[in-house]
Amino acid sequence: MAVTRFAPSPTGYLHIGGLRTALFSWLWARKTGGKFLLRIEDTDLARNSEDALDAIIKAFDWVGMSYDGEVLYQSKRFDIYKKYIQQLLDEGKAYKCYMSKEELDALRESQMAAGERPRYDGKYRDFTGTPPEGVNPVIRIKAPTEGTISFVDGVKGDFCVSADEVDDFIIARSDGTPTYNFVVAIDDALMGLSDVIRGDDHLYNTPKQIVVYNALGFKLPKFYHVAMINNEQGKKLSKRDGATDVMEYEKLGFLPEALLNFLVRLGWSYGDQEIFSLEEMVELFEPKNLSKSSSNYNLDKLLWLNAHYIKNTPNSRLADLLHPFGVDIREHDKNELLLDATKERGKTLVELAEQIKLILHRPEAYDEKAVKKAFKGDAKEILAEFAEMLQSWEKALHLPCDYHEVLEKIVETKEIGFGKIGQPLRISLLGSMTGSGLDEIMSIIGVEETVQRINKAIAEIE
């Protein structure tokens, strides 16, 4: 059973790269019958945002990725970190460093001038003298001075760095607050993580965290460092490209299952399959099959997936989902027909809502180009005769097929092509040449509204 986690920082909103990492971790935990834990890395008290924290929790609720147990907040665990810092000091595995910022800056400048990699030189590693006055020390851990630090990454394979690439890094600042790599290693160990799945921007943090694991005698988890998501041009993903707050995708009219399906395919595959239900993802996901290469964000692919899920969503749920987009058809007597007529045309809930509004709301204006094309010759006469035919039709008009009979009759009676009635009728009903089937539209709005829209178009279009 795998124990995994997602550990966002509440200094910004959860974006899709973070959600993808969380999804991979969640899938592995669920597949193995293990646990998926949520930890909020909020030790940067000055930059934390309550709004960002709320948005992270809300995003998990929206996509339906439940976490196990209570949310763990690092800001409430400072006493634990202090205990381990003191343990390392007592065991001689960490020490107080009194080097001032000015000294450290001067050291780095001289190293860079000499063509060396900037690093702390271990000045206070074995210091036994009198500490300088007026300097609040930081705490540094004793990193190995020779050999290598290595691990087997589940995505990238063997990873090894020379010990001299990891200096005695700071584990507690001069004000006593612990640093990132220190608290991450402690929390991952104490939470019992078996697998750490994260972005490969953390790859070079891992050797430092291994130093902490080894110093405290903790068992190493299995690491998987996932390649980043790039934009469509293969460059770093920006907000403009889609790396925005996950909840913005809800506002843009994307379904959570479409977004998860999109994200799981950015860095993982199962043959040529493109459509995955959440249940299929859990069944088929294996972190060892994560790609070593970066993935490219593709908005067209996301829209295609979203359109697929909209088409296959039960109408009752679609009606609920559309409500926040200004369309309330939950009690509409033709809501089933309305959704069947429009959901093939909407790639997002926003687009679907607009298609529905086109049908339900009488047009206030008419597309000029479409009018010039369709309203010529005897178009108005044909429309007027069609309106009269609707009102005098012997059988009740309810279903789209009923209205289609009337359309066939006007075509037969006037000996015209379908376009001669279809094009001006569409403009009369919707204001443009786009939209659902004419028989479906008339069935939804009924005879009276159809006739009123036709008469309005005849009167207003010159």
Which residue type sits at 425?
Answer: L
Which whole-number Å values give the CA distances from 221 to 3, 4, 50, 161, 297, in the listed order?
A: 10, 10, 31, 18, 30
Phi first, then psi, for residue 15 (nearest 5°) are: -105, 175
In Å, how far from its chain's centre is CA 36? 18
H/E/C letters for each residue in the chain? CCEEEECCCCCCCCEHHHHHHHHHHHHHHHHCCCEEEEEECCCCCCCCCHHHHHHHHHHHHHHCCCCCCCCEEHHHCHHHHHHHHHHHHHCCCEEEECCCHHHHHHHHHHHHHCCCCCCCCCCCCCCCCCCCCCCCCEEEECCCCCCEEEEEECCCEEEEEEHHHCCCCEEECCCCCECHHHHHHHHHHHCCCCEEEEEHHHHHHHHHHHHHHHHHCCCCCEEEEECCEECCCCCECCHHHCCCEHHHHHHCCCCHHHHHHHHHCCCCCCCCCCCCCHHHHHHHCCHHHCCCCCEECCHHHHHHHHHHHHHCCCHHHHHHHHHHHCCCCCCCCCHHHHHHHHCCCCCCHHHHHHHHHHHHCCCCCCCHHHHHHHCCCCHHHHHHHHHHHHHHCCCCCCCHHHHHHHHHHHHHHHCCCHHHHHHHHHHHHHCCCCCCCHHHHHHHHHHHHHHHHHHHHHHHCC
| Sign of the Cα pseudo-torsion (230, 234, 238, 242, in order) | negative
Question: Do 99 and 67 touch, CB atoms closer than 8 A?
Answer: no
Phi first, then psi, for residue 416 (nearest 5°) are: -125, 165
Question: Do 294 and 227 touch, CB atoms closer than 8 A?
Answer: yes
62: its two tokens: 């929206």
Does the annotation list 76 as a binding residue? no
Binding site feature residues? 239
Binding site feature residues for ATP? 239
